[in-house]
Structure 1
């Protein structure tokens, strides 16, 4: 049982509607008190620090994020009952769980074994699946955030790291180093796969009493997480393979929580393949080159029925996969040769696969970025390699050797000549010919978050000066020369939230969003700010894309409140706002966004995940707000053109490139 210590001098006696009677503990995020509500029930009140008084929008951002946490079903989790501010200091009230943390239990009583370990794994994984189902990423899953009470293991503090990230610590990773995922250390997008990594590390600790990665100092520990294999000695054999897959460095290789839950419940049954078809491998042109509240009764029932939860989640995925389209006869291996044209049927139905699957070579990483111009598709990978796919002839050309992950890729025309640009996590900028010749390479120093390939090839870099800084340092760099364009930009609150390249009049422009729901439009020629505008109510800008409607430039955006919005790029006037669903998907809302035209109709292509683990690609009519079609899973997408017809191209999780018809 947890010890309850007397209140100390300076501790509040009351927070909101709750009378405080003792201190349960103190940690890096704040102090946890035992409280009594107006009905006399015990609650846990967590008073977080520091106060949110550094910016007028901080409190609003914190409350918005924690409110999302309250959507999580309360089986295997501590239900969040209330949230508020005490003199600008945030607090969160949750149900009181009479139990010790897993960390305390293992250190005092030793590792978990046998059925106790299996129950712990299944219960905590069920909780994680429920958290992800609500669109939340825990971000700080660790032994100290698992309470082992009389009703079984309970997961706590889910979503608090995201809430803090949205207010005071947006510039650095939040978590406990021993259980953080590689992508958290690399500053990359944090997804449910990060929680799966942290869950596996927690299970290793539960089974062995030690962490999966050793290190006496934080730098040594970070290095181990990023580059060494986990130590699974002492982990029972029936859990070993599952935990090893969860601890993969590449988040795309980790199983989703629902698939993993089924594996643990039914270990003899194979996990369904993410793709129904065997991809066709085409020759790769290796061009010469230089060297990413339910109550307690329902909790008991659902913990005991974890098998049903896992089976239901997998069944939903299986139904979706059954609807996925098989390759057309023109894309089978026997009909595809390097350099040979692959004809497109004149009127393929909407969603029909008209090109692919074209498999990327093994060992070159997972796709991180896709761009297209005409029938030429560019795909960057987590291993720093870029591929150029000529979708007219199925030729695949490899650009560059392995290195820092590609964060952004683009293709366009410079001086009448086609060029490809790539930006990397280590600040490298590259300019290529689509045939493989490297035209320029420079090091900007700061990580690249976006590149263009228009009349002027430009890269956007971003860094934070310190973990406590609320504003990032952004620079525009000429990729051909490596020189900075304009002055350094330091006014993006909480950093850049979404960026896009487009045209405004005769000017190529960069469009950026930030944590204050503010859009800025920059000239790529001079690096100067042309104008800025707000997106209106609180929504959390996520992704941006530039397009055209009625002869005027528009900005399309997705938001963390699960909305798709359209603005007039020249005036900032809000034109449309449509909901994705009836709930916010947190930072899993949208994986990719592209804007273009289908005939005379302006459209947006959104790869998003309102519920579950499959990413769905939907095409929106931006004049009416209607969803005109839906495709299979592709985390990265772009609009291209084949035989005079608009198509969608994308890279799927199985490392294949595909193209889908948008209809006659």
Structure 2
């Protein structure tokens, strides 16, 4: 692993991280012929048993049959150390989501081509018997040869592998039926396609809502906001956003509406009538090949505030409830275990960069010293460690508690991290009680306790050493320990710092394992793990170095540090020297730094004594926007998450709150 990037997976050499999301991490890789590929390593393990593995590979094989025009070809799949991976054609370019955020909405011929091309891709996907299930702007890449749709078939493959227990998709683009017990059909992709086109043309989603309950209420009961779409595209999109899946066109029909001719001779069949209580059955004819481009009509809108619908599906009549008003809260409880209560009174604009994504998260009775982001049972969560001696889990979507309180430490909890043990998530914590604990976040049980430090343990991280999951810990005894996560044996002990080690992390340089650490003695040190020796002591900070994060920028492994001198510094680990001038702006100690990739831009998140969090461009070293203000005391810890569909910065403070900030631009 180099800078957090695995060396190779399934015969593909991984070059650099392209991005991470709710399903997994995507890396740029090369095959044996030096061709470039995208390798997606999924969070969830499909190799629990042979049957699950066969189902997973079978579904990926189906995805490989999709015609390659307008889609990124699926090339290969397998399992690497308990985690499934999928290899596809690498398409250089920005996602539609990133492009619109950066350059603004599409218009004119560009919008027309986008609509036609993506509808053609969707038709090809459907002809292969696949439902995409997660069609959205982030899954449309604007490549050098035009728009390309990616990630089709992955959601179904995960389902067949038995690794999903909740609804699949990105809520802002999910169809109403995906929030209930109805089968997910190709019609859900049509709904998502329409939402994607609305975003492309306007820069906003068709259904507003800054919380899931508000968003659900809007999707199930509200009318879509298609203002800004040109006619007749607006009428086509409205038809695709019908609450009733049977009122939406098929992908083949959609392509005909947009281009005037079908993409292929194969036509899909669908029931002919939709009967709604109090309204006659409707049948909307589909224009044939002679129809003009952008031709078509949305037809009568299906009412949404009715008590029930009768739908004929293959000759069988079924009653489908339509949720209205405050009843959406009941649906939320059933599907996502949200707290009881009504949704927000009306739609609200999605928060933009630097705005709070929700109200502060409360629950700890003392300082929150550390925060980490991960997933538990498919739910995006944050783990927080506090001076109240507990570790707590929070649902990043709702802000509510996401599991039992983890109790057992008898001192302040200084640091927390997520790891994986036998393909299951674990939480690791370090405390001033001189111990490191490993927890099962599902039931709150203690998996193991490490007690090799002679003093407070200030930092903990997870990683991989000799193909084994490990825990790295550091503390007041000036030592760094590497422990096997499986059997809790100490593998390596590193000493040399003069004073407390405040942070440590494991990485790889040229295929060999290394530890980078930061300490009270004002140094950043680089260690050869196999030889258990120090290789370099980097100086530049004036005073203790409190924070450390590792990343890769332009293929170069770097460390980012923050300290008592109020500066943030970037270090070239290959050259073993400081890279450029320090970043300044905080008034007082920089207590925490974290690195992330935001819309293909490498960023640094920092938190300080001055009660602020700040975002920096790693390449230009310039701040992005104004400081994030809201905490009433020092910011002890920062991290990021893009697992909810919206990029977030998470900040934990001495004021006992956890705050979530939007990084959407």
TM-score of the pair, normalised by structure 1: 0.43
TM-score, normalisation: structure 2: 0.43
